[in-house]
Chains A and B, each alone.
Chain A
Amino acid sequence: MTTTERKVNDLGGMPAGPVCLDEHPSTLHEKRVDALQKLLTGGKLQVFTSDAMRRAIESNTDEDYKNMLYYDKWIRAVRDLVIEQQLLTADEIDQRIEVLRQRHKETGSL
């Protein structure tokens, strides 16, 4: 479906299924992702623009774009962009994730 002419996110008119009307209240994780990207793109910090967020999300493969959860695409884009803008390094993020994983394994909590 992806062509150079039509990007992964350019969905208008593509065949699709019934609209699922299920809703769930935002989880704390989702609110945190939303708040992080709002503050990083906001007037005070301006680390990157909302346009950059969209561009980063559009760099997913067609399959990932369709199948990944909405806020998963967002937090991965935030990761790409804080690294691109040299606010954080990939290494320090990865190392912190390992620390959290270990802590969760040992204590059941992050």
Chain B
Amino acid sequence: MSTSHGTHHHDHDHDHDHDHDHDHGDHGHPHAPPAPDDDDHYDRYEVLLQTAIRQLLDEKGIITADELHRQIDYQDSLTPAIGGKIVAKAWMDPEFKKKLIADPLKTINASFELDITTPLDLVVLENTPQVHNVVVCTLCSCYPRMLLGIPPAWYKSIDYRSRVVVEPRKVLAEFGTHLDDDVEVRVSDSTADLRFLVLPNRPAGTEKMSETELAELVTRDSMIGTALALNPKA
């Protein structure tokens, strides 16, 4: 068994970040079991299954180890940071924003010299003072992975998928997000091949900030719609 995945060594810690208060005794749902950095030493059935399939496909030349590594590296390169840059540019440049909304992927590829190809359609949902967008996939976990990477576990959870369409404001409150009653909270349920990127409102007091500084205010959650963009530090 090759150890050539050494380049993928992760030195993240596996402790869950328990800085919100609820009793983990009655979670009622499983956390991922703690996994070692190197899952070659881990014999849970699904890890064995993944390893078996991966090895067989490599041996038959269908998906080589190299191809898999390249795909993982590509996946790793997709993070909310690029989304943040796109939002910051849209805030600063009205012409870019117009083009972005009209043809998102083409505009993103051109402006950021990317080559994102996908059979899916990316749609930009612009927040306004009157409309707050939030995205879900009630039927599975559709998410703009081609841009933002892997969705957070909560987005894929039974609880989020069940509740955000019926009580979005209560769910948003769990994220610390509150909106005036007269604002239209517009939940987009990704039921087909469209993928949604929320363009959050530009926070007040940011007029003098550079595009780079603005990008740092744009969180992943603000591009899903469960949060607002961050306010500038006082």
State yes or no: do A and B touch (Cβ within 8 Å).
Answer: yes
Residues of A within 8 A of B (CB): 9-36, 38-40, 43, 45, 54, 57, 66-67, 69-72, 75-76, 78-79, 82, 87-88, 92-93, 96-97, 100-101, 104-105, 108-110
Contact in complex: A19, B157 (CB < 8 Å): yes
24 residue pairs bridging A and B, Cβ less than 8 Å apart = A10-B138, A11-B158, A12-B165, A12-B166, A12-B189, A13-B165, A13-B166, A14-B162, A18-B159, A19-B171, A21-B174, A22-B154, A23-B153, A27-B39, A34-B150, A35-B75, A39-B71, A66-B29, A67-B30, A88-B53, A93-B53, A97-B48, A100-B52, A110-B47
Contact in complex: A31, B162 (CB < 8 Å): no
Residues of B within 8 A of A (CB): 1, 5, 8, 10, 12, 14, 16-18, 20, 22, 27-32, 35, 37-43, 45-57, 62-63, 67-68, 71-72, 75-76, 119, 138-141, 150, 152-154, 156-163, 165-166, 171, 174-175, 189
Contact in complex: B162, A16 (CB < 8 Å): yes
Contact in complex: A93, B56 (CB < 8 Å): yes
A39 cross-chain contacts in B, Cβ below 8 A: 63, 67-68, 71
Chain A binding surface SS class:
helix
Selected contact of B40 from candidates A15, A23, A31, A109, CB within 8 Å: A109
Name the CB-closest residue of B to A82. B53
Contact in complex: A31, B75 (CB < 8 Å): yes
Contact in complex: B75, A101 (CB < 8 Å): no
B156 cross-chain contacts in A, Cβ below 8 A: 70
Given contacts A12-B161, A21-B20, A32-B68, contact A57 B153 (CB under 8 A): no
Given contacts A16-B162, A18-B159, contact A57 B140 (CB under 8 A): yes
Contact in complex: A19, B160 (CB < 8 Å): yes
Task: Report the Cα distance A70→B156, complex, angstroms.
Answer: 8
Contact in complex: A36, B29 (CB < 8 Å): no
